[in-house]
Amino acid sequence: MRYNVSYMEDIIIIGAGVTGSFLARKLSQYDLKVLVIEKENDVGNVTSMANSAIVHSGYDPLPGSKKAHFNVKGNAMYTEIAEDLDVEFERIGSLTIATSQKQLETLKDLLKRAEQNGVEAKLLSAEETKKLEPNITPEVTGSLLCPSAGIINPFTLVTHCMENALDNGVRLLLNEAVEDIKRVDGHYDVYTSKGVYQAKAVVNAAGLYSEEMASAIEPIEWTLKPRKGEYFVLDHFKANFVSHVLFPLPSEKGKGVLVSKTTSNNYIVGPSSEEVSSKEDFATDAMTLANVRAQATLMVPNIPFQHQIRVFAGLRATPSTHDFIIEPSKKYDSFINIAGIESPGLASAPAIAEYVAEELLGKLFELKKKENWNPRIKPYVKPMQLSQEERAKLIAENPDYGTIICNCEKVSLGEIKDVLSRSLPCNSIKAVKKRTRAGFGKCQGGFCQPRVLMIIAKHKGVSPTEICYDKLGSNILLEESK
């Protein structure tokens, strides 16, 4: 059955994390009315921004599982995605490290699993591993190399993805929490904190709150538990201190504490993996971080933690099914759940979006492609990646690119003005930080944050007291003084 009603949205997507954003972009190819509703003040502001930023190869998931299928397929899509969306991405490969003869046997089992999943992988000796990673533990007995693994900028991945969707006709509502969903006369009424919206189909991509959204339609058989991961971020102290994503052997809790460089030439160490009761618990604690540090130094003994610039925690929704939940509700094929998208969710997201659009929503709607759909966003100017001659020419044409606002990360006024002028709203200091890295450096915004605040206020034509750090209500300035 296909719908022909024309007075409401065709599809409402609840949630603008990486999966919801990829789905919005995919659906923007077609002649459909698509609305995305997000409770946060920015897209990709919860699980999608607080993770390891790894595009996993897919060697680890159970063969035949949704995780295995979508991970491997999604990984292969990222080279083109990164080019189209102007996102920093590098296939540096991963090494899973063994430190005993017994663990070597486990690596052989993982190699077989990689082969079953269709992932290129190779066992390396201790000597081969040390040659690739000189700072690895002397206890290493071997490793599993998976060349297709990569590192990505998760902030620009989600923001550029949604920007491309908006440029192609999708609508986005921020700061609206979905409070109820009702099936009425063959369509859905979606009640938010600000209004009611109607749609022929709803996709539940609400992350940690997917269980609540699904339960509004029918009783469900699965549950989600928040699992916290705590991390260290180290300054860009030395090039190629590690050159690959380094994993210990995986356990029932996940892939373990990794050590990796990032696309910004920082280093990330983590995460922990502990179930928590609150879906708003983003606190870090000394004991957990000490354990993360201890686990990491078993792989890389000389990690210079004196270069730590911040710690953070992220939450992921762990499903009771132990696999991704990607399916219509049992009562209505027009209500689709995308839930429990924990690791390797980032790698899997584009493939999940393609499947939901083409296979599930394609049964409900005629997917007529737009003639003018553009898969690419307008490229971002990155002065520090230009040659001196190119940078001088750019600054001569637009002096804003020569005015440095963030000294740590060398972010210019021109770059900040650029992100503020795009189709995707940039409403907070944190939103500017995620898009430009202004405030991500050693001082963590201590010097540039006031300047960024004033730039946002001037651009929006509002008082500086109205500018938030992140969520609504997180105002930096309370009142004007003389």
Catalytic, 187? Answer no
Q: Which amino acid is at 180?
A: D
Which two tokens mark 32? 């459909």
Could you tell me which residues come within 8 angstroms of residue 172 by beta carbon, excluding any fewer than 6 positions away?
16, 24, 35, 36, 38, 43, 162, 165, 166, 424, 425
Is the alpha carbon torsion for 418, 421, 427, 431 positive or negative? negative
CB of 207 closer than 8 Å to CB of 23? no
Distances (CA, A) of 14 to 6, 156, 184: 21, 20, 18
CA–CA separation, 309 and 482 (whole Å)? 34
- E-strand spans in 426-469? none
Which pairing describes strands 308-319 and 224-234: parallel, antiparallel, or unpaired? antiparallel
Q: Among the options 56, 69, 160, 244, which is catalytic?
A: 56
Which is nearest to 24 in space by CA: 349, 418, 309? 349
Q: 249 has which bridge partners? A: none
Counting DSSP H helices and E strands in the chain, the numbers are 12, 22
Tokens read off for 162: 């949604």
CB 153 within 8 A of CB 88: yes
3-state secondary structure labels for all residues of 399-413 = HHHHCEEECCCCEEH
Token pair for residue 414?
């021109």
Please give the helix or strand (H or E) that residue 75 lies within, else none.
helix 66-85
- Closest to 141 in 3D by CA, of 297, 269, 298, 250: 298
Helix (H, G, I), strand (E, B) or coil at 398: coil
> Hey, is 248 helix, strand or coil?
coil
Q: Show the DSSP H helices in 259-357 as ranges.
A: 286-299, 345-355
Q: How far apart are the first and last CA of the chain?
A: 66
Q: Residue 15: helix, strand or coil by DSSP?
A: coil
Q: Which run of H or of E encompasses 24?
A: helix 18-27
Six-digit token string for 201: 């189909």
Q: Using CA atoms, how far apart are residues 24 and 13, in angstroms rounded to an integer?
A: 8
Catalytically active residues are: 56
